[in-house]
Every structure is written in C-alpha cells, then in structure tokens.
Amino acid sequence: MATLLHIDSSVFPAGASTSRAVADAFRTSWEEQHPEGTVIHRDLAANPVPHITVDAHTAGFADPATHTPEQAAAFAERVKLIEELEQADAVLIGAPMYNATIPSTLKAWLDNVILMGRTAGTEDSKVKGIPTVVIASRGGAYGPGTPREGYDYVQNYLKAILGDALGLDAEFIVPELTMAPQNPAMADLVPLYEASRERALGDAATKAKTLAERLAA
C-alpha cells in the first residue's frame, strides 16, 4: 500500500491553522482511498528537526568511515529524515507564509533532506518524481495587481528547492487572506477569504483522491 509523508510546519494548532486544515482535508481523502496505507506525520512545530550544523554538513561530503562521533550522530539524524522521504509514494507539505517566506522549521527539514549525490545532484535519486502537494497558505494576497505583489518568497523558493533541487513533482494549493477574520482592517475581504478557503479544501480533497487512484492503478 502507498505511503504518504505528511509535513506540518504551522506554529498554530489544528483549528487555528488554515494550512493544517487544508492538509487534513487532503489526508482524510487520501486515507479514505488507502485505509490500509501508511502515513508518516512530522509536525515540525511540535517536534522541530535539528538545524544543520557543521558536523551534519561536513558529514554529508565525507566517507562515513572517517566520521567523528559528532559527525556520525548528526548524520544519522539526517539519514532518518532522508529515508522517510525516500520511502514515500507521495508528500504533503503545509507551508504557511511567515514574513514573506517559509517557517524556519521547514527550512531546517529541507536542509537536512537535501544531500548531494543522494537526494540531489544525481539522476539515481530515489525521491525524483515523487508527487508532492504543498499547502502554501498566507495571511494576505500576493497575486498580480495586489499591493504586496512580488513579496511571495514561498512558492518561488519551494518550486526551486522541491522541483529543481530534489526533483519532486510539486504542485501548490494556495489559500489566501487567512488574516481577514482576525484583522478589522481586512473585514471587507472576509468573503474572499472564505471562498479561497473552501476552494482550497475542495482542491485538497480532489487532488488526494486523484493521486491515490493514480498510484493504485
């Protein structure tokens, strides 16, 4: 049966996070198609992975036989994360926008799983082509013609890292204006937020079902 790797990075708990809500809609639909499948869930807010240290970094370019004890321990943590990614048939990532980019916890996860010669920089990578759905929620709107156009450093960055560096087959669901219900200055935008959220929830459920059916074929 198929394995889904589900990564959450919102600092807000379920019920207060749009990225978690949309990711949960995807996961629920996925599990309905794969009741006997496996879901590996990493909540990077509740259990952050280590940021890359000099030992973890240099160990990736050295013969394991030469690793110091510190390098060996740090590299073992990276390998654990890499193996989770390698065994996934699909990946689901919650990537809310914080200060125009992704949470630092998600950046730390990416820094750990990007390993030249294994997951990147090689045609033999086991992660190449894995279908990946990113829930890129944001408090405002950043599309063409909006006041914040050009300030979205989530999608461009993740397209480069997930697609170009790791070779994942990434697509995005983008619920916007999530701050509208909390910010009085955005009160007029609440209907647009609600429409965006409902569209994202529907898209997530549909994409999960379609992907699950494709993998099962």
Rounded to an integer, what distance in angstroms lies between the CA atom of residue 129 and that of residue 96? 23
| pLDDT at residue 3, rounded to an integer | 95
pLDDT digits (tens, 9 = 90+) for 83-106: 999 999 999 999 999 999 999 999
Q: What mean pLDDT is reported for the chain? A: 95
pLDDT digits (tens, 9 = 90+) for 124-165: 999 999 999 999 999 999 988 898 888 999 999 999 999 999
pTM of the shown model: 0.96
For 122, other C-beta atoms within 10 Å of its C-beta total 13
Phi, psi (deg, nearest 5) at residue 98: -120, 120
